[in-house]
Structure formats: C-alpha cells, structure tokens
Amino acid sequence: MSHQRAITLVFAVHGAVAGSFATRIPWIQDQLGLSPGVLGVALLCPAIGAIIGMPMASRLAHRIGERPAIQLLLAMWCGQLALPALAPASVWLFGAMVLFGVTAGMSDVVMNAHAVGLERHLGRSIMTGLHGMWCVGSLAGAGAGMVAAQLGVDARAHFGAVALVLLSVGLVSGRSLFTGRAGAAAPAPRRFVLPSKAIAGIGVVGFCGTFAEGATADWAAVYLTRVTDAGPGVAAASYTIFMLTMASARLVADRFVRRFGPVAVVRCGGSVAATGGVLVVIARTPALGIAGFALLGLGVAAIVPLVFAAAGNAGRTPAEGVAGVATITYLSVLAAPAVTGWTADATSYPVAFAMITGVLVVMTLLAGVLKVRDELPAPAGGFPAPTSAPRGMEEQAQEEHASPASA
C-alpha cells in the first residue's frame, strides 16, 4: 500500500467514527433522559476537549514520530467511540465527550500534519482529496448508523462492532504510512505559544470558512422549515445535499489547486459560497433554498483543507502550524451555531444567513494569506522537499506519472 493510500484510509476511518456517532445521539439522549439543554452542553464538550488536546499533539508526534502517533491516536479515537453510549449519567457523559474530543482533536492535528509533509514529498496538492475521503467515511458511517437505528440495534453493540472494524482498518493502513521521524533539524514544538502573524491570518480564513460550514450544517433544515414552509423530508434533504456537494468538490479540488494555486481556489470558492448565501437569503421556496445550500457546500469545500495545508507550511513544524490554526477554527465550531441562533432570534433567519454571507465575503477578501503555502521552504521533518513546486499542467502530469494517483 502506498503512503498516499494509507493516509487516505486514515482520513476515511476518522470520518467514519464521527459519522457513526452522530447518528446515535438520539439514542443516547433517550437512554439518559437528557433535556435539550443538557444535550446541548454535552455536544459542546467534544469541541472543548479538542481545544485542550490539540496543543499536545505536536509534542507527541515529535517525541514518538508521526506514524506511531497517528496509529496510537486513531486507535484511541476508534476505541472511545463506545464511551458516550456507556455513560450511566449525564456527568459521566460530559467526561466521556471531553475525552472523545481530546482524542479527535489530537488525531486530527497529527494526520493533517502528516498530509502536509506528504504533499511536499509528492510535490503536489492532495489535502482536499483527503478531506473529501473524510466526508466519504463520515457518510458511510452515518449510513450504517441509520440502518442500525432503524433496526433498533443497541448503540453500545453498534459502536462496539463499528469500533472493531474501523480499528482493524486503521491498524492496517497505519503500517504503510511514511516511516520517517522528524530529524535533529526539526525543532521541538513549544508547549504554548501565541499564533504568529502568518498563522493568525490563516486562522481567520479558517474561522470564517468553518463558521459558514458549521452554521449551514446546523441550521439549513430549520431555515427551510421556518422560511419556506418545507416539509420534514425536504428540509432534511437540504443537509444531505449540502454535505454531498461539499464531499464531491473536495474529491476533485486538488486538480484545481495544482493548476491555479490555493489562493485562487479559495477566492473562487468563497465567491460561489457567497452566491449560495444570497440565494438562501432571498429564497421563499424550498427549491431555491436547496440550490443555495448546494452552492454553499460547493464553495466552502476546499477552505478547511487548504487552510490546514497553509498552516502546516507556515509553522516551525507541520504539527505546530496545524495545531495553531485548528484551535482557531474549532473556536468557530463553538461560536457558529449559537451566534446564528441568537441572530435569527433577535432579527430573522434571512438576516442570520445574510450575516453568514458577509463572513464568506470577508474570507474571500483575506484569501491572499494562503500564498504562504507556496512561498515557504519545506518544513523540517521526515519528508524531503521537491526541487520546485508544481505550477502547470506539464509538471502535474510528470508528477502524477512518478507518484501514486490522488484519492
């Protein structure tokens, strides 16, 4: 198995764990008798745990190597899938969800940092395709979870079986990851450091993209129900279409990144997403609203992968750069649903999505900060840098002939 196929499977397994868990949240709520408010607090805990864990990820990868770190953290992420379902009371659920988030965030940082180094080794963009496979894994996990829920399978048994399967796939793929360890030239990641100006700028772009992505995912169905009088099935379809367009765009976006560069792709994507936001704001029929959400998914698809890639190249080490920007973007995960809800409550749902559209415009205007990805030399570590960064179609063809095909 090639290095690229191995990291592709790692991303898919990580996404499958997240998708599997999301479908059984109602079972956990019913099992523990949680009120909506208590459940809301529980669902904030993974993001809090991720913010706590992310700064530790780069030091772990530096100490034991990226491949062992990915193997360890992915195994823990799969194993902890069952913890929330085993919680006997809400207080135990909060603790389980925090641990769930710590492992999710740490594994997220290390596998994205590994992907940054692999991009430099191959000399071409693969990051958006990897995030596309994360979406594929998430959709697959969610599909299996929906079947289990429909059949009335106990979530503890469901999670146990899924964890074993995904753990096996993760261990097999982990053996084929790049075996290099950061050498003596690689500086030890610092325990705590404020983001540099470059990382902060990249983080703002990521914050805006994640804000729009998270708010749309949480509020699309509600918007269609309240504003366009859509039925439950049509409203639910808005989220599915949003996710499918985002996953599809990620799977092909690397081709455009190689040809035009990350800045142009982010600017184009931001423009498409903002257009979708305008359609949502003016929509008074379900069809127009769904079209707007589809454009939103298409437009924001490449933002987070390219932000992580840029941050990995802007930091002293890939893991430190990814950890810095990921912490900023996870703050957006915490803020987006609540801010959107408060805005809608104080004004209206169209005004709330007009705010989201404004965030996308800001992101588009700031896209130039991602050019650091092409300007900086390869970060210190186990991956050698290519002699020159690929720019045109001829170079791309040469690279694809010499290296594995992109996922």
pLDDT score at 207: 94
pLDDT score at 183: 42
Residues in the chain: 407
pTM of the model: 0.80
Same domain flag for 151 and 219: no
Nearby residues of 294 by Cβ (< 8 Å), 6 or more positions away: 241, 242, 245, 276
Residue tagged 């109602």 (tokens)? 26
Same domain flag for 216 and 81: no
Give the span between the Cα atoms of 121 and 378, in whole angstroms.
9
Same domain flag for 205 and 251: yes
206 within a domain of the structure (yes/no): yes
In the predicted structure, residue 31 carries a pLDDT above the cut 50:
yes
Contact 332, 211 (CB under 8 A): yes
Same domain flag for 236 and 146: no
382 within a domain of the structure (yes/no): no
Query: pLDDT of 357-375, one tens digit each?
Result: 999 999 999 999 988 544 4
170 within a domain of the structure (yes/no): yes
Same domain flag for 119 and 40: yes
Q: What is the mean pLDDT of residues 16-41?
A: 85
Same domain flag for 253 and 336: yes
In the predicted structure, residue 399 carries a pLDDT above the cut 70:
no
pLDDT score at 96: 94
Give the span between the Cα atoms of 143 and 150, in whole angstroms.
11
Instruction: Pick the more confident residue, 183 or 294.
Output: 294
Q: What's the mean pLDDT when you consider all of the chain?
A: 84
In the predicted structure, residue 36 carries a pLDDT above the cut 60:
yes
Same domain flag for 330 and 218: yes
CATH of the domain at 213: 1.20.1250.20
Same domain flag for 129 and 239: no
Which band of pLDDT confidence, cut at 50, 70 and 90, is reported for residue 174?
confident
Give the span between the Cα atoms of 357 and 241, in whole angstroms.
19
Which band of pLDDT confidence, cut at 50, 70 and 90, is reported for residue 193?
low
Give the span between the Cα atoms of 242 and 182, in whole angstroms.
39
Query: pLDDT of 276-318, one tens digit each?
Result: 999 999 999 999 999 999 999 999 999 999 999 998 888 777 8
In the predicted structure, residue 181 carries a pLDDT above the cut 70:
no
User: Domain range holding 116?
Assistant: 1-177
pLDDT score at 180: 52
185 within a domain of the structure (yes/no): no
In the predicted structure, residue 390 carries a pLDDT above the cut 70:
no
Same domain flag for 172 and 313: no
Q: What tokens were used for 330? A: 């996870």
Same domain flag for 254 and 351: yes
Query: pLDDT of 126-170, one tens digit each?
Result: 999 999 999 899 888 888 888 888 888 999 999 999 999 999 999
pLDDT score at 162: 94
Long-range contacts (CB closer than 8 Å, 24 or more residues apart) made by 370-375 = 370/202, 370/205, 370/262, 370/263, 370/266, 370/306, 370/307, 370/310, 371/261, 371/262, 371/263, 372/198, 372/202, 372/310, 372/313, 372/314, 373/262, 373/306, 373/309, 373/310, 373/313, 373/314, 374/261, 374/262
Of 177, 211, 246, the residue at which a domain comes to its end is 177
Query: pLDDT of 201-251, one tens digit each?
Result: 999 999 999 999 988 888 888 899 889 998 877 887 888 888 889 999 999
73 within a domain of the structure (yes/no): yes
Same domain flag for 91 and 28: yes
Nearby residues of 402 by Cβ (< 8 Å), 6 or more positions away: none
188 within a domain of the structure (yes/no): no
384 within a domain of the structure (yes/no): no
387 within a domain of the structure (yes/no): no
Same domain flag for 34 and 130: yes
Q: How many domains does the chain divide into?
A: 2
